[in-house]
Amino acid sequence: MYFFAVFVLLGTGLAANGEIHSLTYIYTGFSKPVGLPGIHEFTAMGLLNGRMIDYFDSDNQKKVPKQDWMKERLPADYWDKGTQSRQSKQQWFKESINILKERMRQNDTGNLETHLNVLSGQ
């Protein structure tokens, strides 16, 4: 069984009121369900200064706030649009993994294999 995993890390630095802040998005995708608790086929999370601010996974299919200030200050349509965006990224990951498997002439049988892709900008 061949098993593919793709990890993407996107980050940027922001300056507000003379302070430097970092905003990072982490996406992980696997070629199929792993079968382990807490490990999802697709996961996405946003971090502000290293603290998780939002979360999405393939099982729950909903972007949710992880900080009280985000729950209080952002309207419901922000979370609805964010959910749609994360679902699109999940589909992109799935298609990209399938393309990678085709190009490497791999199928869903054989050994466990993991692929790592990290992108970061500061």
Strand partners, 51: 48
Give residue 10's pLDDT. 59
CB contact at 8 A, 115 and 5: yes
Give residue 3's pLDDT. 57
Flag residues of the chain having pLDDT under 70. 1-17, 107-122
| DSSP 8-state assignment for residue 6 | E
Q: CATH code for 5-103?
A: 3.30.500.10
CB contact at 8 A, 12 and 22: yes
Q: How far apart are CA 18 and CA 74, in angstroms?
A: 24
CB contact at 8 A, 30 and 46: no
- Length of the chain as a residue count: 122
Give residue 112's pLDDT. 42
Domain ranges for the chain, please list them: 5-103
Q: How far apart are CA 26 and CA 105, in angstroms?
A: 28
